[in-house]
């Protein structure tokens, strides 16, 4: 098995399911597990160690994922070219710094990851292969703060 789409299985998929996939499908290159709300860092860590050929991963709206999962993913799945962590709202700059080290990453969706700051932007600026970046609804607070700083500087 090279490609698996289990998106929107919601409450039917658990970490145990993903661990079984990671163990039995070492040649997996693409996994869409969007909106599988019960998945945790344990699932992504299992993928990082068992599916090292993974090039595409969609874990958007998997709200329990933390930086720990992205750090493991970046270390274990270095061939990753596409990553969608849309609305994984527990992720911080540490996750994006790890993801930015992926040598083949060409597309990243961080839509709605509101804990990210200018540190994430700086880390991604060094990602030479990145061609597509979706930051919709992510850096509003950063841009508001920047605008405030500019206005204060002009008024001073």
Q: How large is the average pLDDT for residues 39-62?
A: 98
Task: Tell me how many domains the chain contains.
Answer: 1
Percent of the chain with pLDDT over 70: 88
Name the pTM for this structure: 0.89
CATH number of the domain that 96 lies in? 3.80.10.10
The residues pairing with 84 across neighbouring beta strands, listed in sequence order, are 58, 109
Burial of 152 (0-12, 13-18, 19+ CB in 10 A): exposed
The region of weakest confidence among 2-6, 80-84, 146-150 is 146-150
Residue 139: pLDDT over 50? yes
Give Cα separations from 148 to 85, 113, 137 (angstroms).
29, 22, 18
Domain range for residue 79? 3-155
Average pLDDT over all residues of the chain: 90
Residue 147 — very low, low, confident or very high, per pLDDT cuts 50/70/90?
A: very low
What's the whole-number mean pLDDT along residues 80-101?
97
């Amino acid at each position: 098995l090279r490609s698996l789409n289990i998106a929107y299985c919601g409450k039917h998929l658990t970490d145990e399911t993903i661990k079984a996939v990671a163990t039995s499908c070492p040649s997996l290159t693409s996994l869409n597990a969007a909106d599988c709300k019960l998945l945790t860092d344990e699932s992504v860590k299992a993928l990082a160690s068992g599916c090292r050929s993974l090039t595409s991963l969609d874990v958007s709206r998997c709200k329990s994922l933390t930086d720990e999962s992205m750090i493991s993913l970046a270390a274990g799945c270095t061939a990753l070219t596409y990553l969608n962590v849309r609305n994984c709202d527990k992720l911080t700059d540490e996750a994006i710094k790890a993801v930015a080290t992926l040598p083949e990453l060409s597309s990243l969706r961080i839509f709605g990851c509101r804990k990210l700051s200018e540190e994430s932007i700086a880390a991604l600026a060094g990602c030479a292969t990145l061609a597509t970046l979706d930051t919709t609804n992510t850096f509003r607070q950063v841009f508001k703060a920047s605008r405030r700083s500019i206005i204060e500087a002009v008024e001073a």
